[in-house]
Structure 1
Amino acid sequence: MYAYIDGKLTFKNPAFVVVEAGGVGYHINISLNTYSALGDTERCKLYTWLHVKEDAHTLYGFADEGERRLFLHL
C-alpha cells in the first residue's frame, strides 16, 4: 500500500521510528540494520511494507529496497 515514506524523523529507537509526513506521524517498526543506517539524520526515506492481519495493521520500514525484498521472502 505504501512504497515508501519520506519525512521528518521525530522519534527513533532500535525497535521503531516515528516519521512525520504530510502532517501525519507514522509509527514504523524497523530492524537494527535500518536503525544504524539512519544515524543522526533529521529527515529520512524508508521503504515500507504494511502487514495487515485480522486484529492489527503493522507498518515495517527498511533502509533500502533490498532489505525490504529480503523481509518479504521470509
Structure 2
Amino acid sequence: MNTTKMWILTDGSDVGLSKLIGEAVREYIMEHQNSLVVKNQYLSSEERRKRRPVVIGVVDRKCLPEGVQLDGLVRKHI
C-alpha cells in the first residue's frame, strides 16, 4: 500500500511529459485496484478513493474548448 501523501502537479495537457505522467498514474491505479480486489474485496469505494494519488493539472482556460465560460461573464440560456 502507498503510504505517502504527495501531490503530482502537471501542466494539464495531454502531450509530452504530462501525458506520460497521466499514463503512469492510470496504470498505477489499475494495478493497485486489481491487487486490492484480490487482497480485500470488501473495501468501500471511499477507502479506495483515499488510496489514489492526487494529480492536479493546471492549464490556461484559453486551451480548454469551453474555457471562456469559466470567467463567469458568459451566460448560457437554457
Asked whether the two chains share a fold, i.e. TM above 0.5, the reply is: no
**Larger fraction in strand:** 1
Q: Give the TM-score, by structure 2 length.
A: 0.23
Q: Which has the higher contact order (CA 8 A, sep 6+)?
A: 2
Larger Rg: 2
Q: Give the TM-score, by structure 1 length.
A: 0.23
**Larger fraction in helix:** 2
